[in-house]
Structure 1
């Protein structure tokens, strides 16, 4: 009888011992659920104009800006983006030692020299670096630009604060410096002694389209590209930045893993494209639209009336004057469809189908 009472006492004590942590855990969870979400920590990030990846005039301030802001929020930070000259952004971030200062800067290419000063995030984006050259001033480059060593005898310019892919860095080791990508393309157009500029493909095309619409007819782009990744940098002088980058990378990996990253990129790119979109309308009695996969092809796909596209290349007929007698009956314009069954596809369409908004 005594043994049974002792056994029962031990069982009751064990039950009570287990119940205490369970009840405590329940109370903690109940308390946390009743509390409002913790406020995000403010964090200032510096960047510059590099459309479509960053720019104050772009939706969400650009693709890279959207990635940084969304990822920072997931990591518990409220991103405050400040736009400034690239050299100023870099130096301000490198010298910052306090959380209330500039915590980081983006988007930057990774180099050994920068790694000595900064913690690096994982890749924000992958971009393509290309060579832009003036085919009117240096027509021989048309045949040489994509060959190994084809640029060795030619002169380029480098942009202040830029670091390039090693293949390009070798070509620009003693090149003159300019303060911005805009100035680099201005030199390419106006200065015969400047034969090429190295720039991210989308960035260079945007600069030519927006600032040099008439002169862009002379500029060609290499077929060869150099893929590079761009990153968020945070100074090693601030001991808290290591934790910042760790949290940022964890959040970025989560977004890439659950699909939120790709959805974000598609959304921002779509809204940037929408600002440049034109609409296709039929001008023929048949009422349908044709899109060609190649300019010389006779095979085409049908496009619905009202298809929205982004013009990637208007072609010489729209950019250079010519006698009416020498103008072809049909002028094809290279476009990228942003809706319709051909969404995302590069096509050539008759210029007469394009209607500006």
Structure 2
């Protein structure tokens, strides 16, 4: 009898261990402070939101930080369960289950203080020296104007370089997410440099960013339902708004 009980206890522990393991998910991620980052608290505010939404559904997230192209490719091929966080597109809708919005992001036009920028249409930006990041899409109107030559855009390898060229009067405008810009300015620039920059209130582009779960991984459709449910609960609790507000309050152009 004792041997039978011992066996049953062992079998239960093994089965329980498998159940716990099945509730872990491996997601790819990248570096985009303060939203995402391996060395950031909670791996960044967007990672925190994803992890806590899953936790409300009993799922533990394991993050793997990779270059962006590889992070997306591994998830697309089903070698990882999914990846965070990304713009939605028709192509991605065919490759992934796409969550509801995790965070919103957008590009604003940064410029030097004291230089007026009143713009309503992309055509209003003609004649200005504009920066941009290699591979970034700043919206259909901007992309068309750049391709046609209506706008002269200098594509750069990093957002830090764009801000430095703006400060050095080598650019007139540089589009960047304001929260990302503030994080960069705090990390790599002086208070005096931060005080020299501002941005236009009208965004160049506004987007929602999403968790993507691969359609090649069995069970991901049901897992996405659970994630969206957890995310809705987290948002309803006020914690999503709290985390985003805390992130923005920790960064200021003038601090």
- Structure 1 pair 234/169, CA: closer, same or farther in 2 (3 Å)? farther
* Aligned-partner Cα distance in 2 for 1:181–1:147: 24
Higher relative contact order (CA 8 A, sep 6+): 2
- Structure 1 pair 172/240, CA: closer, same or farther in 2 (3 Å)? farther
Contact 1:188-1:197 within 8 A present in 2 as well: yes
- Structure 1 pair 125/172, CA: closer, same or farther in 2 (3 Å)? farther
Q: Summarize the alignment of residues 50-61 of structure 1 with structure 2, pairs less than 5 Å apart.
A: 50-61=32-43
1:241 to 220, 228, 243: 220
CA drift at 1:245: 2.0
User: What RMSD over aligned residues (CA atoms) do the two structures have, in Å?
Assistant: 3.2
- Normalising by structure 2, we get a TM-score of 0.73
- Structure 1 pair 184/126, CA: closer, same or farther in 2 (3 Å)? same
Which residue does 1:147 correspond to in 2?
Answer: 120
- Structure 1 pair 158/75, CA: closer, same or farther in 2 (3 Å)? farther
CA drift at 1:248: 1.5
Which runs of 5 or more residues in structure 2 are unaligned? Answer: 1-14
Contact 2:195-2:254 within 8 A present in 1 as well: no
* Aligned-partner Cα distance in 2 for 1:172–1:119: 32
2:239 to 235, 257, 263: 263
Q: Summarize the alignment of residues 38-117 of structure 1 with structure 2, pairs less than 5 Å apart.
A: 38-39=19-20, 41-94=23-76, 96-97=77-78, 101-117=79-95
* Aligned-partner Cα distance in 1 for 2:175–2:75: 25
CA drift at 1:180: 3.6
CA drift at 1:172: 4.8
Contact 2:131-2:155 within 8 A present in 1 as well: yes
* Aligned-partner Cα distance in 2 for 1:243–1:312: 43
Which residue does 2:6 correspond to in 1?
Answer: none
- Structure 1 pair 105/169, CA: closer, same or farther in 2 (3 Å)? farther
Q: Report which of the two structures shows the higher radius of gyration computed on alpha carbons.
A: 1
Q: Name the structure where helix makes up a greater proportion of residues.
A: 2
The DSSP-based 3-state class of the residue aligned with 2:100 is coil
Contact 2:108-2:178 within 8 A present in 1 as well: yes
Contact 1:59-1:268 within 8 A present in 2 as well: no
* Aligned-partner Cα distance in 1 for 2:162–2:81: 29
- Structure 1 pair 198/121, CA: closer, same or farther in 2 (3 Å)? same
CA drift at 1:255: 3.0
Which residue does 1:132 correspond to in 2?
Answer: 110
Which residue does 1:229 correspond to in 2?
Answer: 208
The DSSP-based 3-state class of the residue aligned with 2:75 is helix
- Normalising by structure 1, we get a TM-score of 0.55
Q: Summarize the alignment of residues 208-227 of structure 1 with structure 2, pairs less than 5 Å apart.
A: 208-213=185-190, 214-225=192-203, 226-227=205-206
